[in-house]
Amino acid sequence: MLTIYGVYRSRATRPLWLAEEIGLNYTQVPVIQAYRLPQAQGDGAALSTQSVEFLAINPMGSIPSMDDEGLVLHESLAITLYLAKKYGGELGPRDIAEDSQMAQWALFAATSIETPALDMQKLLGSDKAGTEEGKAAVAALAKSLERPLDVLEKHLQENAHMVGGRFTAADIMVAEIVRYAQGYAPLFDARPALKAWLEACQARAAFKAMWERRLQEPA
């Protein structure tokens, strides 16, 4: 039996979206980030990234983690690629070239986009967003995202999807990282191919089902 540990309000959305696309039979264990809880340990505490039970599975105390019939994996991108290759059919790679391309785009997004995009998301949702200091910080983050988003824009002007001319796990992984910057419209208005691709990814029934479950969780 496949088990995915992690709440929807985390990077677990990546393998959970893929599982929805595949129609995969799995159990989700809602491990929540300890920093989001008023009480992370002790009697009555919810299962969290600092719970003894979860630390026995992932000593780093991060989500998501996965157990597939005894194979335990951590890190959302590794889990998503594994599930795509084992269960995903056309959502996974057809050959070693596509396998490498999927890993390349996932790592590109994680290393070049994720950190500034996450910082932007947090800043836009904070009280500082409307201040001069906040606006300057957002502008600086947007500037740092221009080059990697330009790379995606050029690729998507020439290709409908990230890999193989079809929707795959690579689209899921990159879209879920790019989403963090989605609250800053100018970045996407200036890149119509990227904007259209992201909107198409998020229009998929599996994304909507995953997102609805995410919205049902406490913020």
CATH match for 2-90 among 3.60.21.10, 2.130.10.10, 3.30.70.260, 3.40.30.10: 3.40.30.10
CATH class of 94-204: mainly alpha
The model's pTM is 0.96
**Residues spanned by CATH 1.20.1050.10 within the chain?**
94-204
Please list the alpha-helical segments (H only) found in the chain.
13-22, 52-55, 76-87, 96-112, 114-124, 132-158, 169-178, 185-189, 192-202, 205-216
Q: Outline which parts of the chain fall under CATH 3.40.30.10.
A: 2-90
Q: Give dist(CA 95, CA 33) in Å, integer.
A: 36
Q: By the 8 A CB rule, do 144 and 78 touch? A: no
Please list the pLDDT of the chain residue by residue as tens digits (219 residues). Answer: 899 999 999 999 999 999 999 999 999 999 999 999 886 566 667 899 999 999 999 999 999 999 999 999 999 999 999 999 999 999 999 999 999 999 999 999 999 999 999 999 999 999 999 999 999 999 999 999 999 999 999 999 999 999 999 999 999 999 999 999 999 999 999 999 999 999 999 999 999 999 999 999 988
Tally of CA atoms within 13 A in the half-sphere of 203 that contains its CB = 6
